Amino acid sequence: MLGGIKMSQKTAVSPDFFNLSGPSAIRKHFFPRQRLHVTDIAPFIGLCRARIYKRVKEGKLNLCIQYDEVGLPFITLDDLVEYLYPSASLAPSSPPTQPEPVRKVGRPRKTVTTHGQEGGAK
């Protein structure tokens, strides 16, 4: 216990945080701050601080960690919203393109015609 609070309660986030309704709810939760510490966003992402740094370094987590004038790391609120709600930041500009059909490798076959001796097997 630490000051009447169990350690597990100190770092726990209430379930209400995970039932947020979108980018506006995230902005409202952190208002008026625009710079967030990594420990503040860890419960929203579901990773501890060390895992966040590791995954950002490996390129597995699409967050931009910046450093202020003192050298302390922070993440902007807009980056967090863009990571949590990627569909909100992307406007549907055009329908998704269809992939090109896969070409079969090998020698092309001769076409078989209805006439007896033209093309095809003899």
> Does any domain span residue 11?
no
Its pTM stands at 0.52
Check residue 94 and give left, alpha or beta (phi > 0: left; psi -120 to 50: alpha). beta
Number of structural domains found in the chain: 1
- Over residues 39-81, the pLDDT tens digits come to 999 988 899 999 999 999 999 988 889 998 999 999 999 898 8
CATH code, domain carrying 63 = 1.10.1660
> Does any domain span residue 101?
no
> Does any domain span residue 61?
yes
> Does any domain span residue 27?
yes
Give the strand pairing for 66-67 and 35-36: unpaired
Q: How far apart are CA 114 and CA 79, in angstroms?
A: 65
What's the domain range around 62?
22-89
